Amino acid sequence: MSSDATPDPYADPIAFGQRLKILRTRRGMTREQLGGLIGGKSASWVRAVEVGRLKTPKLDVILRMAEVLRVQDLAELTGDESAHVDLFTGPGHPRLGAVRTAVNAYRLAPSREAPPIAHIRARLARAWTARHAAPNHREVVGALLPGLIRDAQLAVRQSDRAAERRTAQAALSEVYSLSQFFVAYQPDPALLWRVAERGMIAAQESEDPHVIGVAAWLAAQAHRDSGPGHYDAADAVNQEALAFLTPLLPDASDDVLAITGALTFEAGYTAARRGETGTAWRYWDQARAMSQRLPAAYYHPMTSFSHAIMGAHAVTVAVELHAGGESVRQAATSEATFIPSRPRRARHRIEAARGYQMDGQPDAALSTLARAYETAPETVKYNGYAKTIVLAETKSKSPARRRRASELAVKIGLLAA
């Protein structure tokens, strides 16, 4: 090998700082951005850690770095191969293999007739209800998805008339949307992108504004969760969808208005990830105005967009802006609001727990995470933010807090019983 060849950064044991620089660079993040996101550290402090002038930070700082960099396994950052901890991808749900097989299969010569679209839609409706109502929603949805994927694909292939084919494509796109909720935070990013892209293609073929909006909403999330280098792509998908839907709003159904509101908030979510405070809250205000145009009892079946969700969205904006005090204030304001969806309610409590942790209230953070776990255990198990908080508090100097964190860590699979 020539002396100027680029070495494999993981071929030999390397220092923590070198790992930090590699992961930061892969995320397209500057030292200034990373320092600000992990708690007001300067770019020079980050550089000092990277070049080894400062020693490896304490665990709580490492976990904040892991959160910001969204490392899949904590060992990627620490280099400690004896302590693998899945963070932003879970250990892999037992149903993942069957869902992957159904997505990847190409049946060119079907041996049976596709069920009627009305039948597929009825199953889809039951699946969405189960996703929102079941504590073990991934298990329930994962059991339903393989059959739904196969039948929806078959319905598209066997559609003869143009109108019938568009209807089948709409159902298929919705099946892929449901699949993306299941595949998210699983250890197969390629499958996530395959599902997101197929959902968008089917949505465009359906020519259904609501279906197109849902697929765009999920595609924007996939881009945003891929890191700062993908924020522009998230914005592009969002803005394209909003430009398509906005002219339709004067005569739009509640579902189209709701998905437009959800996309509007998503633009604010990405702005908050960028640290753009004014833009993030401006989009939140616009989304809230749209939610107020919906019936009081309305609740969007995919995105949860509604009157009730805006308080939870406010917590998310404040947390992503790393405004601990504001996120706690917003959490207190939204506490009395009931969110019908179990996983969405649990996620809201995780976001509130992040706010409490930022605000220096670890006991409140743990209590809120415990309530999230009671609501939807699988949501907590597969959420990297929840895991970083719990893992940090297992090292607390307070014996009582350490015990509570360890008990929760056992429940979500971070520690052995």
Is there a single domain that holds both residue 192 and residue 99?
yes
Q: What would the DSSP string read from start to end of 96-122?
A: HHHHHHHHH---SS--SPPPPHHHHHH
Give dist(CA 196, CA 224) in Å, integer.
13
Give dist(CA 340, CA 319) in Å, integer.
22
- Does residue 123 form part of some domain? yes
Give dist(CA 355, CA 347) in Å, integer.
13
Give dist(CA 13, CA 155) in Å, integer.
52
- Does residue 130 form part of some domain? yes
- Does residue 101 form part of some domain? yes
Q: Which of 127, 135, 142, 144 is nearest to 95 (CA)?
A: 142
Q: What is the pLDDT of residue 66?
A: 83
The distance in angstroms from the start CA to the end CA of the chain is 48
**What are the tokens at 387?**
């895991």
Q: Which of 207, 237, 266 is the last residue of a domain?
A: 207
Alpha-carbon 119 to chain mean position: 30
Is there a single domain that holds both residue 100 and residue 191?
yes
- Does residue 398 form part of some domain? no
Give dist(CA 37, CA 249) in Å, integer.
37
- Per residue in 123-170, pLDDT tens? 999 999 999 999 999 999 999 999 999 999 999 999 989 999 999 999
Mean pLDDT, rounded, of the chain: 90
Q: Which of 207, 240, 264 is the last residue of a domain?
A: 207
Give dist(CA 353, CA 357) in Å, integer.
6
**What are the tokens at 39?**
């708690």
Is there a single domain that holds both residue 72 and residue 143?
no
Give dist(CA 38, CA 28) in Å, integer.
16
Amino acid at 143: A
Is there a single domain that holds both residue 109 and residue 52?
no
- Does residue 354 form part of some domain? no
Q: What is the pLDDT of residue 379?
A: 93
Is there a single domain that holds both residue 42 and residue 64?
yes
- Does residue 368 form part of some domain? no
Q: Which of 207, 229, 264 is the last residue of a domain?
A: 207
Give dist(CA 392, CA 385) in Å, integer.
11
Is there a single domain that holds both residue 125 and residue 148?
yes
Q: What is the pLDDT of residue 185?
A: 87
Alpha-carbon 244 to chain mean position: 24
Q: Are 155 and 171 in contact (CB under 8 A)?
A: yes
Is there a single domain that holds both residue 103 and residue 198?
yes
Q: Are 167 and 203 in contact (CB under 8 A)?
A: no
pLDDT by residue for the chain (417 residues), tens only, comes to 344 444 454 444 578 888 899 888 888 888 988 888 887 789 999 999 998 898 888 887 888 888 788 777 777 888 776 556 666 666 789 999 999 999 999 877 777 899 999 999 999 999 999 999 999 999 999 999 999 999 999 999 999 899 999 999 999 999 999 999 999 988 898 999 999 999 999 999 999 999 999 999 999 999 998 888 899 999 999 999 999 999 999 999 999 999 999 999 999 999 999 999 999 999 999 999 999 999 999 999 999 999 999 999 999 999 999 998 999 999 998 876 789 999 999 999 999 999 999 999 999 999 999 999 999 999 999 998 999 999 889 989 999 999 999 999 999 988 765
The DSSP output letter for 414 is: S
The domain containing residue 44 runs over which residues?
A: 16-78
- Cβ atoms within 10 Å of 36's Cβ, excluding its own: 17
Is there a single domain that holds both residue 119 and residue 184?
yes
Q: Are 263 and 214 in contact (CB under 8 A)?
A: no
- Does residue 405 form part of some domain? no
Give dist(CA 116, CA 96) in Å, integer.
27
Give dist(CA 296, CA 129) in Å, integer.
19
Is there a single domain that holds both residue 143 and residue 167?
yes
- The CATH number of residue 34's host domain is 1.10.260.40
Domain count, the chain: 2
- Does residue 173 form part of some domain? yes
- Please tell me the pTM assigned to this model: 0.84
Is there a single domain that holds both residue 129 and residue 68?
no
Q: What is the pLDDT of residue 417?
A: 59
Name the phi and psi angles at 86, rounded to 5: -70, 130
Is there a single domain that holds both residue 107 and residue 71?
no
What is the maximum span of the chain, computed from C-alpha positions, in angstroms? 69
Q: Are 280 and 272 in contact (CB under 8 A)?
A: yes
Q: Are 224 and 231 in contact (CB under 8 A)?
A: yes
Give dist(CA 343, CA 339) in Å, integer.
9
Alpha-carbon 206 to chain mean position: 26
Q: 306: helix, coil or strand? A: coil
Q: 73: helix, coil or strand? A: strand
- The helix (run of H) or strand (run of E) holding residue 386 is helix 384-393
Give dist(CA 118, CA 350) in Å, integer.
37
Is there a single domain that holds both residue 74 and residue 99?
no
